[in-house]
A and B are shown apart, each in its own frame.
Chain A
């Protein structure tokens, strides 16, 4: 156990975490050069395409240190996006140390600050390191000063590396085995293993990533899931090197995987404790705090016969994504579907893409919304996660919206732009502090203003330099109304939204104009209206198509004409028939595009 080092890497997107992880693997010869794909740790297609890490992954490496000792390094990967801070705290629970990777040119970013504070909170040894030292724009002295001022870490021993060309990687590994403490735990106590992550494999069933806190987990023994009391025979344990490598047992302090031929997808909940059936532990481990989703949207299949496979797919995703919530809902416009809760917009997009890609589903997603607190005239308090379910106006005594504190770090040059943006989003400034070249800002903002496009807007007004993190503060009364959308005079419940009353006119016009862009011209005119109660606040129309005729068709070319028609028809497959109007999937997300151009 003395020679085990469990650690995570904390870094902002693009600060080079995955490249550094790859370099560690190479240095410790976890993979041959031939096997070395770029950024092996990001194994989902989606992650590689987007260049970000979504799910925690682990790699076990043997590191031969200069003092002759061989250390077992367990590296647990963490996501770098603001939506996934919950996953970060899960990964950190399995570690004694954390490496804070900071881009030597970009400096400290808000998300890293938040994750770093979580790590310090969880009593981890945090070791800062500067990456991308090979860049001509690197300013190590300035960035070190930022680390000291903003996070309060000493940078006297901080190593400067280039994960890209390998500079400093060896020295860093030496420093890590010296600084990070070995795991603690009672080797002779009954087994207690923390489930860090679980996922479903079509061949193996449920695979869980665990950290052994006490005792050991041997293969072919019966293990017990402590929350359910169910026993399962362990069919395989092992580590990722990063190849899946079976072992006879996992020992105290180690991080590895467990397979027990479990087919039910909720059989091994993340955060639960595993013990052995023959000698069970008495107390489970503390586990993780449960996470509240902040953004809700309705998800529907375009083809209603896919409903059952959709339900199954959500179940499988939920297994290793505790933050994904879902429950059945019905929409007049869209039929049967699920109201799903997400951590944020990126989380939502990723879930959508995974459902469409991995489960081959064709989905319609309604505009995302936050959860509102409603005090009814009857004195009840309701939580509304779907605008269509908002009670009538005369039944509402007070409507409250969630307010968050946003902590923003921005270089001085873009301070004005960022403040303007926050004020446009109904923000109230709480704090401003100059730290070296950067300014740290705190704003209170209504959450519904930031979930939609705040992150993108912040990036664009600061040329990508501003970063932010947010946390929920409270519910606060606000002057909000429900804005309905009517298509050819019929209300489409899935297009309703809750809007601040000062913005109704502007927003109603922008929304109807956006929906218009997405609805193709059809045989008849389509009227799009935005209304508050019975009052129409905006109106626009999609002109009827003048005609839809193929001018020329003679014998020989019939196959080509046919293909053309079939293509036209296929284009309509992603549309939902609503009355006689065909509404494409994108129109239901029009709300996201309001105000973008």
Chain B
């Protein structure tokens, strides 16, 4: 039986599924808007119904962060976001220091949008820049150019935002180490508080997967990463997760909650939740219907929840490690017990194996991936995967 001694922190994820067009590398639940005006008001109403339906599952718990992701949430007006956040505030218990992030695409935003979001209570922006090189942006199928990205960053600051993340990719089709580093230098000049710098990976069910572009070779990509990490450190961006870098005190609390295996409720089309029920000693995952129009109809009913799964002990161990080992500074041993409800002794065998293979270090206060463990993170995580035969 799983034993939970204290409540897990809880975040709220809100999915807005529409984009101007689908990018060839994107495997998120996004749908090209078909030219007609978006059903903003209907969708906000559906989200509120969905939340009310889910309230019983999180009753009384305090929300530490909200993340409005997509799709392209910045297709929604400031007014719509305002209405949404007001409705949430009226129904939920917000932590006074709550972090509220919204994802913005430089191609869909102007000064008015940013003022609206800020006024609505959004206090963190994540801007999907991806690159400052117009050739690369075209290859990625982005709807904006480098100049638009810079204008968006300036407009966001002018609107009052002082907690901004830039999403940036490397290992792009045709990219050299020089141009990857140049991208980072420009990003650093813009002085955001946080940079998510991640390697382009070709995911199944994307346009790139069916027609793969020519990517730089592995040695080149590793070179980019090594130079880039030095540059980011020199400018005060601390590396705290595989692809996340932050200035002091500006780590993304919402994402940290994922990586520290906290709870989250996801509302909106295709949103995923992971919720711990200390009373019934179990942890459940479920997801909402992916298609926006069906979601609009079904939100607020059982039928909007399409898949549900109670996690086994083996699932919990693996999923905890899949997240927590991404953290550069590792995690406290207590965190495992607190988040999984399982005593640490139960995983002493795989912990020992990972240590013996020099992928992991531990002392009384910390369990932490070694430099080698960070480099071969998938091999490290695989230590915690039970064989199918033994799991049955």
Q: Which residues of A contact B (CB under 8 A)?
A: 523, 545-562, 565-566, 568-569
Tell me, in angstroms, the Cα distance from A554 to B266 when the chains sit together. 12
Q: What is the 8 Å Cβ interface bit string for chain B, positions 185-209, against chain A (1 contact, 0 not)? A: 0000000000000111100000000
Tell me, in angstroms, the Cα distance from A549 to B378 when the chains sit together. 6
Q: Are A523 and B264 also in contact (CB < 8 A) when A555-B272, A562-B319 are? A: no
Which residues of chain B come closer than 8 Å to A562, judged between CB atoms? 318-319, 322
Instruction: Say whether B201 contacts A552, CB under 8 Å.
Output: yes
Which residues of chain B come closer than 8 Å to A557, judged between CB atoms? 27-28, 272
Instruction: Say whether B319 contacts A551, CB under 8 Å.
Output: no
Distance (whole angstroms) from the CB of A549 to the closest CB of chain B: 4
Tell me, in angstroms, the Cα distance from A484 to B156 when the chains sit together. 67
Tell me, in angstroms, the Cα distance from A224 to B56 when the chains sit together. 77
Instruction: Say whether A565 contacts B271, CB under 8 Å.
Output: no
Q: Are A549 and B319 also in contact (CB < 8 A) when A555-B274, A559-B285 are? A: no
Q: What is the 8 Å Cβ interface bit string for chain B, positions 256-297, against chain A (1 contact, 0 not)? A: 001000001010001110100000000001010000000000
User: CB within 8 Å of A: which of B314-328?
Assistant: 318-319, 322-323, 326
Tell me, in angstroms, the Cα distance from A503 to B345 when the chains sit together. 57
Which residues of chain A come closer than 8 Å to B266, judged between CB atoms? 555-556
Q: Are A565 and B382 also in contact (CB < 8 A) when A545-B376, A546-B219, A549-B375 are? A: yes
Which residues of chain B come closer than 8 Å to A553, judged between CB atoms? 242, 258, 322-323, 326
Instruction: Say whether A550 contacts B219, CB under 8 Å.
Output: no
Which residues of chain B come closer than 8 Å to A561, judged between CB atoms? 322
Closest to A555 in B: B258
Which residues of chain A come closer than 8 Å to B13, judged between CB atoms? 555-556
Which residues of chain B come closer than 8 Å to A555, judged between CB atoms? 13, 258, 264, 266, 272, 274
Interface flag for B166 (CB, 8 Å) = no
Distance (whole angstroms) from the CB of B269 to the closest CB of chain A: 12
Interface flag for B179 (CB, 8 Å) = no
Nearest 4 A/B pairs, CB to CB? A556-B272, A555-B258, A551-B199, A551-B198
Instruction: Say whether A548 contacts B376, CB under 8 Å.
Output: yes
Instruction: Say whether B378 contacts A568, CB under 8 Å.
Output: yes
Distance (whole angstroms) from the CB of B346 to the closest CB of chain A: 20
Instruction: Say whether B322 contacts A548, CB under 8 Å.
Output: no
Which residues of chain A come closer than 8 Å to B366, judged between CB atoms? none
Closest to B28 in A: A557
- 23 A-B pairs within 8 Å (CB atoms) are namely A523-B372, A547-B377, A548-B377, A550-B377, A551-B198, A551-B199, A551-B243, A552-B198, A552-B243, A553-B326, A554-B258, A555-B258, A555-B274, A556-B13, A556-B271, A556-B272, A558-B319, A558-B323, A562-B319, A565-B378, A565-B382, A565-B385, A568-B382
Tell me, in angstroms, the Cα distance from A551 to B225 when the chains sit together. 12
Tell me, in angstroms, the Cα distance from A91 to B374 when the chains sit together. 64
Q: What is the 8 Å Cβ interface bit string for chain B, positions 204-227, against chain A (1 contact, 0 not)? A: 000000000000001101100000
Distance (whole angstroms) from the CB of A405 to the closest CB of chain B: 50
Instruction: Say whether A549 contacts B242, CB under 8 Å.
Output: yes
Contacts beyond the supplied A549-B378, A558-B272: 11 A-B pairs with Cβ under 8 Å: A523-B372, A547-B222, A547-B375, A548-B378, A549-B375, A549-B376, A550-B242, A551-B199, A551-B243, A556-B272, A559-B285
Closest to B359 in A: A523
Tell me, in angstroms, the Cα distance from A375 to B323 when the chains sit together. 63
Which residues of chain B come closer than 8 Å to A554, judged between CB atoms? 255, 258
Closest to B318 in A: A562
Tell me, in angstroms, the Cα distance from A556 to B29 when the chains sit together. 10
Q: Are A565 and B322 also in contact (CB < 8 A) when A547-B375, A549-B375, A555-B13 are? A: yes
Which residues of chain A come closer than 8 Å to B322, judged between CB atoms? 553, 558, 561-562, 565
Q: Are A566 and B385 also in contact (CB < 8 A) when A523-B372, A558-B323 are? A: yes
